[in-house]
Structures are given as structure tokens and as C-alpha cells.
Amino acid sequence: MLTPNLKPTFLFPGSAFLFMMQITFIGTGGSAPTPSRGLPAIAVHAKELLLFDCGEGTQRQMMRYKVGYGSVRAIFISHMHLDHYLGIFGLLETLRMNSPSPKPLHIFAPSAFYEKFLAISGYKAANYKFVEIHAIRTEGDGKNEVKIYENDEFEVSAFPVEHGMRDAFGFVIKEKDKIKFHEEKAHGLGLKGKLFRTIQDKGEVTVGGKKIKLKDVSWVKEGARVVYTGDTTISKSVASAAKGAALLIHDATFSSESHASETEKREHSSAKDAAEIAKKAGVVQLALTHISARYSEKEDKNRLLEEAKAVFPVTILAEDGLVVDVK
Amino acid sequence: MLTPNLKPTFLFPGSAFLFMMQITFIGTGGSAPTPSRGLPAIAVHAKELLLFDCGEGTQRQMMRYKVGYGSVRAIFISHMHLDHYLGIFGLLETLRMNSPSPKPLHIFAPSAFYEKFLAISGYKAANYKFVEIHAIRTEGDGKNEVKIYENDEFEVSAFPVEHGMRDAFGFVIKEKDKIKFHEEKAHGLGLKGKLFRTIQDKGEVTVGGKKIKLKDVSWVKEGARVVYTGDTTISKSVASAAKGAALLIHDATFSSESHASETEKREHSSAKDAAEIAKKAGVVQLALTHISARYSEKEDKNRLLEEAKAVFPVTILAEDGLVVDVK
């Protein structure tokens, strides 16, 4: 999907697709799987392969949808409900068996994850030296977004959501801001080749005796953002984190017309809730996920989609295997 | 499949299919899943629904193959390798969420299972009161078959296998022995209606002044047996437990022609090994399972099947979703 206000841009000629994020929905069910929906997991190609949540069966889903599970560099667990993390143990075991020395893998999870890891995998911890576990903590008033991971081109932040428990997080995957050149102007002033690198490093460069300042020939393109809520009821922190995002992937466990229990309403969102947040945050596109097993029939799924579209038209209903490109 | 030496027999007219076992292969891969093979799990309808091993993804596979996961009464875990038990936690969670008071569920597993259960599910143990966990122990010289579970018509025994670890078990699912009547002779002596029950209960009955002894009008039909090895290298205990079984479901991780590692050979069987055990034990039919992910191509799978058939012709290669009826 080409998002209308984020057309491909060029840092240097030929780099057209360098900063694309590709999102593959690995599992789009909620709580319990169905024959057509696996448990929560979303793969994001953001220079490296990152995995957000890892429900039971994720490794097999990744094989099925040809997302190279062997190249996952970091896994982010939104909260410690079983349907969001059980698959991590099987995936680690397969990675360990497939290679005598697997590449380092970072796991970011609520602090309670560590004891689960020890219990299931720890008895042969020597086999898991490639795994580094980090506890996610957000600071202060519990409303802040905290950067927890980065690579050359992207960074991942966590922010608290409202799921009726301590330590439930959403994530922002953000392309780093880029310096873009007004190419005609820059070329006109004689800027070419390695000088583009020099002016970025030093802030200015002298060409033919004339000093050219970076800010006079360039602008800053804010990086695209993809926001994944994990499980949450309607939450201000999501609206804030998602402001202007290219894609918001939101909990849409039930329909606003269904008789969801009070507990469910405190812990999850309806498709309509998700759409209202998307509208408030002014995102480009909304994807509904964490669909309850009760919506297995096509008409039920359409109901979810239609109620969201009535509020926020640019909405898709995630399906297992769906690929979305953010450019 | 109608097994040639176990034709349907009748205790009372109309009871033809009372003692049938139906086996559904839920997951037939080994160690790691593939798109076509899930991790180990076998459902056996033996009056109740029994589940043998429960690898990651089992609950979803049961939904896919329409094996009613909600009616599982007992789960038997062969050994504590992750691919054989991880799925139990997701299945329990779904059972718990689907019903305010799930029916009692027995889990039979090596003693090490209990701490895993506590670590993953125990923090809300009050939710798991419907689960009863039993440690499997076999006695004495480690070669004995021990009955661990029974219902009205079937019993399950465990026996030790050789998988390079303590506490690795195979299972025998045995139809209880039945008293069968020589119907013409019994009818000729005036036996009818409720008298068939009386003579079974008391060992004799008097009809028209004449005493009829049970043994003179009946014979004992030994119950059919299905044997599942779990993971094992070639093992005498399997040959012994499988003697005359209607169906032997045997570890066939690799081909005898492949370059399996020494470790693998100590812990698993080749298709040929399985066939040799089947021949030695004189079973009716052999099913190969726990197929390594390396055999994903059709020709590779045929190779496994052909090498077994060369030794033991009545062999099938299990596939996910395959149903085998034992009558």
C-alpha cells in the first residue's frame, strides 16, 4: 500500500526502497486461535526483522508465510498473557537446533517474562547464550514513550496501554528522521558525490570558495511511524503515540454492537473504539487485529470492518498472512 | 482401516462399533514444525477423547481437523522435550476461558512437568482446578508396562523407551478384554435377553432346570491394542509392548540412508528401525510419525515409506489430519 502523504523519497539516487517498512500479520486472532487466525504476532521488516508478540504457533506461521524466522533480531512482547508470548519458547528452540551459534536475539518483555524463560528454557541455559532479555519499563507518570531499541535506520519505543494489568505496552516503530536535499538547488551550488556526505557530517561545506550550509539546501523528513497497541481498551496514550502515524495496528477484539462483558470492555477495544482513536490521532491507515474467535463468519468480520469504516474510512481488517508496505 | 485379524465382533446385537478406536494424527513433525507438519500430538477416541503428546499449536490443529478439543479427558506426555508438551498451556488456557467450569482433565507426564505447569499457569492456579496432574513412573527394572489410566472400556499403560534421557515413555491404549458368546450354542441352550448379563456377572445361570456355565458358551476376546512410542531409538521394550498390536505408531525421524548424527541415532529411529520392530512384534499395521523437517519433499517422504515397506509391508506414513480406525 502506498500511503498518500508518504510518497517514496530519495536520500541518494537508487536508495528508493531503503526505508520501507514491511509489515506481515503472522497471527491476527485474540486469546484463542481459530482455523483461520493464529495467535498474536506481527513481523516488521525495519532494516532488520522485528517481531511484535509471539503467540503459540508463531514459528510455524512464519514458515507458512515465508517470513524468515531465522533472521529475527528482536522480539517485543506487549504483555504477559499467554496468547502473546508462548510461541517464543518453540521459536528459540528451533533457532537453537538449526544453528550451532545462532545470531544474537534480543527479547524485550515485561519483567515477569524472565522467570517464565528460566522455567521453560533455563535448565539448559547454556544453549540460550544467544538470547538477551530486557525488561520493558516506562517512566514517571506511566504515560511516557520510552525508546528501547534501535538500529541504523529505525527505533522502537514502548508506551503503556490500558489492559487491566500492570506492564501492558504498545510499541512505536519509527523510521529515523532523514536529511533530504533540495536537489536542484544543491546541484546548482555545485554539490555532488561525496560532498553530500561531508555536508551532512559537518553541517557545511565549501565548494569553489563558497560556503554552503546544510540547512540552506536540505530539509528534515520526519520518519514514518507504525504503532501497534498490543491489547488495550480505548486509551489516551495510544492516541498520543499514534499522532500522524502511517499505520496504526489496533486491538479490535469485538464489535461495539456485541454483548462484550464488562471485563472485556475494560481490557479490549471494539472496532469502533479503534476507529475513533485512529481519527483522533490523524493516522494514515488503521489495521484492526486481535479479532475474537466469535467472528469467524464472513458477515461477522464485515461487521467489524464496516463499523470502523463508518468512523475512519481508511481501515483494513488484518488477516493472517496479510502484507502491508509502508513507504 | 479394517484390520484383518480383528474383525468386528458383537457382544450384543447392535453393539458393532462400541469398541472402535479412532486415531487422528494431529501433528506428525519432529522437533521443529514445517508448513505441512505440526508438532507431535495424536488424538485417540477410546470411549473418551485422549491426547498423546501436545506440541506447540495442538489446540489449533485440533480445531482444523475437527477433533473436539473441548472434550479431551486426559493428556499423556511422553517426555519433557518442548516439542511434545508446550501446546498444553495454550490448550488449558482456551478450555478455561471457554467454560466457567471445565470438565476434569487428567494430565499424565514425567514428574518434571509439574514445575513447568506451575511456572506458566500456576500464578492463577485457582483457574486450573479442573486439571489433575499425575507423574508417570514405571517400576523396578525400568522395563515394565504400568497401567496409569482407565475408563469403562479402555486402559492406558506407560512403558519406558530409549530416548537418551530419564523418563521417556511410550503408551499402550488397550481395549479391555471382552466376553464373547458362541451365539448359536447359547441360544440353543435357551440363553436370551437379560440372562446374558446374569451369566457374565455370576459365571453361571440356570435355564429350564439346567445349569449353564459361562465358559461353556463363551470365549474371551482380547482387546485390540494401539501402541505409541513417543521418541525412541530401536528398543526392546517397544517390541515387547507392541506384541500383536493392531497398530504401532513409531518414531521414524529419519531415513536409514541419511546421515543422521550419532546423537540422533541414539535418541530416534529410522523408518527401517520402526519396520523391524513392527515385524518382530507381529503388529497388524505400522504408522511412521515424528518425521524430521528435512523430509519435506514428496520424494523424501516416499523414501521413508519405501524403506519401511521393504521390511514391513503394512506401513503408512502419518500425515497431519490422517484418521485411522481400529475396529
pLDDT digits (tens, 9 = 90+) for A110-142: 999 999 999 888 656 678 889 999 999 876 555
Beta carbons of B83 and A93 less than 8 Å apart: yes
Cβ neighbours for A20, distance < 8 A, ≥ 6 positions apart:
A8, A45, A325, A326, A327
| B120 chain-A contacts, CB cut-off 8 A | 82, 86, 116, 119-120
Task: Give contacts of B263 with chain A, Cβ < 8 Å.
Answer: none
d(CA B108, CA B125): 18
* 3 state DSSP class of B94: helix
Q: Exposed e or buried b for every residue in B101-110, given b needs 16+ CB within 10 A?
A: ebeebbbbbb
- pLDDT of B124 reads 63
Q: Residue B14 — very low, low, confident or very high, per pLDDT cuts 50/70/90?
A: very low
- Residue of B244, B239, B229 whose CA lies nearest to B284: B244
The Cα–Cα gap between A78 and B265 comes to: 41
Taking contacts as CB-CB distances below 8 angstroms, the residues of chain B near A119 are 115-116, 118-120
Reported confidence tier of residue B49, pLDDT bands at 50, 70, 90: very high
- The Cα–Cα gap between B242 and B249 comes to 10
pLDDT at A139: 67
Q: What is the pLDDT of residue A140?
A: 55
Q: What is the mean pLDDT of chain B?
A: 89
pLDDT, tens digit, 9 for 90 and up, residues B180-218: 899 889 888 888 889 888 998 899 999 888 999 998 899
Q: Are A124 and B112 in contact (CB under 8 A)?
A: no
What type of residue sits at position A307? E
Among the options A83, A167, A251, A273, which is catalytic? A83
CA distance B35 to B297: 12
Mutate to test the interface with A, among B34, B37, B56, B92 (most CBs of A within 10 A): B56
Query: What residues of A are in contact with residue B90 (Cβ under 8 Å)?
Result: 33, 39, 56, 82-83, 86
- Stated as kind and residue range, the H or E segment containing B183 is helix B183-188
The complex's ipTM works out to 0.87
CA distances to A7, A86, B87, B96 from B93, in Å:
44, 11, 10, 5
Q: How confident is the model at residue B300 (pLDDT cuts 50, 70, 90)?
A: confident
Best to test chain A binding among B31, B39, B60, B80 (most A CBs inside 10 Å): B60
> Quick one: three-class SS letters along chain A?
CCCCCCCCCCCCCCCCCCCCEEEEEEECEECECCCCCCCCEEEEEECEEEEECCCCCHHHHHHHCCCCHHHEEEEECCCCCHHHHCHHHHHHHHHHHHCCCCCCEEEEECCCHHHHHHHHHHHHHHHHCCEEEEECCCCCCCCCCEEEEECCCEEEEEEECCCCCCCCEEEEEEECCEEEECHHHHHHCCCCCCHHHHHHHHCEEEECCEEEEHHHHEEEECCCEEEECCCCCCCHHHHHHCCCCCEEEEECCECCCCCCCHHHHHHCCEHHHHHHHHHHHCCCEEEEECEECCCCCHHHHHHHHHHHHCCCCCEEECCCCCEEEEC
Asked whether the beta carbons of A304 and A271 are under 8 A apart, the reply is: yes
Helix (H) or strand (E) holding B177: none
Give chain B's contact residues with A (Cβ, < 8 Å): 31-35, 38-39, 56-57, 59-60, 63-64, 82-83, 86-87, 89-90, 93-94, 97-98, 115-116, 118-120
Q: Report the alpha-carbon distance of residue B41 to residue B51 in Å, rounded.
A: 7
Per-residue pLDDT at B141: 53
Q: How confident is the model at residue B1 (pLDDT cuts 50, 70, 90)?
A: very low
- Name the burial class of residue A124, with classes exposed (0-12), middle (13-18) and buried (19+) by CB atoms within 10 angstroms of its CB: exposed
Instruction: Report the alpha-carbon angle B232-B27-B132, nearest 5.
Output: 80
Q: What are phi and psi of B212, to 5 degrees?
A: -110, 125
Above pLDDT 90, what percent of chain B? 67
Of A38, A63, A82, the CB nearest to B60: A38
Rg from Cα positions in chain B: 21
Is the torsion defined by CA of A115, A116, A117, A122 positive or negative? positive
Q: Mention every residue, 6+ apart, whose C-beta is less than 8 A from residue B206.
A: B212
Task: Please write the tens of the pLDDT for every residue from B255-275.
Answer: 998 877 888 889 999 999 999
- The mean per-residue pLDDT over the stretch B125-151 comes to 83
Cα–Cα distance between B293 and A202 in angstroms, integer? 53
Q: Is the dihedral of CA A87, A90, A95, A98 positive or negative?
A: negative
Q: Which residue has the higher pLDDT, A208 or B110?
A: B110
The alpha-carbon gap from A53 to the nearest alpha carbon of chain B, in Å, equals 15
- Answer for the pair A274, A252: CB distance below 8 angstroms, yes or no: yes
A283 C-beta neighbours (distance < 10 Å), count:
25
| A89–B82 C-beta distance less than 8 A | yes
Contacts of B92 (CB under 8 A, 6+ apart): B105, B121, B128, B131
A273 catalytic, yes or no? Answer: no
The residue of chain B with its CA nearest to that of A29 is: B60
Q: What's the rounded Cα separation, in Å, for the pair B312 and B271?
A: 10
Instruction: Identify the bridge partners of residue A286 per DSSP, sorted by sequence position.
Output: A248, A315
Collapsed DSSP state (helix, strand, coil) of residue B287:
strand
Q: Exposure pattern of A130-165 as b/e (b: 16+ CB <10 Å)? A: ebebbebebeeeeeebbebbeeebbbbbbbbbbbee
Chain A residues touching residue B63 (CB < 8 angstroms): 33-35
Q: Is the pLDDT of residue B243 over 60?
A: yes
φ, ψ for residue A213, nearest 5 deg = -90, 140
Helix, coil or strand: residue B106 = strand
Residue of A nearest to B37 (CA): A60
Is B120's CB within 8 Å of A119's CB?
yes
In chain B, which residues have their Cβ closer than 8 Å to the Cβ of A38? 60
Chain B residues with CB under 8 Å of A32 CB are 59, 93-94, 97-98
What is the Cα–Cα distance from B215 to B229, expressed in whole angstroms?
A: 36
φ/ψ region of A223 (left if φ > 0, alpha if ψ in -120 to 50, else beta) reads beta
Q: What's the pLDDT score for residue A158?
A: 96
pLDDT less than 50: residues of chain A: 1-19
The CA–CA distances, whole Å, from A144 to A222, A226, A232, B77, B130 equal 20, 17, 16, 45, 41
How many Cα atoms within 13 Å fall on the side-chain side of residue B20?
Answer: 16
Q: How confident is the model at residue B17 (pLDDT cuts 50, 70, 90)?
A: very low
Specify which residues A154 forms β-bridges with.
A175
For the four alpha carbons of B115, B116, B122 and B127, in that order, the dihedral sign comes to: negative
* Segment B64-86, tens digit of pLDDT: 999 989 999 999 999 999 999 99
User: Distance from A1 to chain B by nearest Cα, in Å?
Assistant: 27
What confidence score (pLDDT) does residue B139 get?
A: 67
CB contact (8 A) between residue A116 and residue B120: yes
CA distance B104 to chain A (A): 20
In sequence order, the 6+-apart residues with CB closer than 8 A to the CB of B139 are B146
| Distance in angstroms (rounded) separating the CA atoms of residues B227 and B251 | 11
Residue B150: what pLDDT? 96
For residue A233, which of A320, A316, A154, A162 has the smallest C-alpha distance? A162
Record: contact B86-A83, CB cut-off 8 A: no
Closest approach of A227 to chain B, Cα-based (Å):
27
Asked if A257 and A310 touch (Cβ cutoff 8 Å), the reply is no
For residues A233 and A216, is the Cβ–Cβ distance under 8 A? no
